[in-house]
Amino acid sequence: AATGVCSILRYAISIEKEEIFLAHQAAKQTLVEYVNKVSNAGMDQRIMTIGFARRATPYKRATMIFNDIERLRKITQHCGKLQLVFAGKAHPQDQGGKALIREIFSSRDKLNGDIRIAYLPDYDMEIGRLITAGVDLWLNTPMPPMEASGTSGMKAALNGVPSLSVLDGWWIEGCIEGVTGWAIGNSEPHEQQPPTVTEAETNILYSKLENLIMPLYYQNRDAYLEVMRHAIAINGSFFNTERMMSQYVTKAYFK
């Protein structure tokens, strides 16, 4: 049936949380072992891991999470440890994208091991698969309204990984706050060019990590697994290629 996979994914709401936990831990172990092999980052499977993997270009604002390094460091001191996995290539002529990658490496050095950071080389579909399945939280920080879709977050959701994302692209529809993930700011378009990061967005990102997401992850595993389960059952069941093609056929080609 055309809606077969979509229907099956909706029933993910009935999967035992322990099954989701064990499946995710297996995927996370695979990712951590790969990251440590290629980057020697010393990542630990027990630490909350955030993923960010997409084309490196200024409007994606990959460095937003480093906008206030001292605040980020303090959050980890009383909420629990964090580690971040980045990947993505810049176009050879995209100097802004290349600068963002250099800034991530600079932030890694400034954090001096307080937060373990890896930038994986040779980003491809296989590395994308490892990251979207193995991290605990998917981060997406584009400047509205420039995000066309955001398929990396959809892939993460299929793996039970919730998003912390700016309300742009698919996340305007996909975000049910605290149920499938968390939103950064609102969907109001930014006027600034080149892309900038506002203080308000930074405050929301840090506040949600500090007051909602990390306490849930470290202190209430059952509740965090519930968000993971909803990411599959609600987001995964709707934001997928099968549903997209079905709608193209029924609403466009044969209309």
Q: What is the pLDDT of residue 255?
A: 63
The Cα–Cα gap between 74 and 11 comes to 40
pLDDT tens sequence across 163-210 = 999 999 999 999 999 999 999 987 677 766 677 888 999 999 999 999
pLDDT in tens, the chain (255 residues): 445 667 778 888 999 999 999 999 999 999 999 999 999 999 999 999 999 999 999 999 999 999 999 999 999 999 999 999 999 999 999 999 999 999 999 999 999 889 999 999 999 999 999 999 999 999 999 999 888 888 999 999 999 999 999 999 999 999 999 999 999 987 677 766 677 888 999 999 999 999 999 999 999 999 999 999 999 999 999 888 887 888 888 888 886
Q: What is the pLDDT of residue 10?
A: 85
Find all residues with CB under 8 Å of 212, minimum gap 6, and list them: 178, 182
- Classified as helix, coil or strand, 115 is coil
Q: What is the pLDDT of residue 192?
A: 64
- Does residue 245 contact residue 4 with C-beta atoms inside 8 Å? no
The Cα–Cα gap between 174 and 167 comes to 9
SS (H, E, C) 133-192: HHCCEEEECCCCCCCCCCHHHHHHHHCCCCEEEECCCCHHHHCCECCCEEEECCCCCCCC
The Cα–Cα gap between 27 and 50 comes to 14
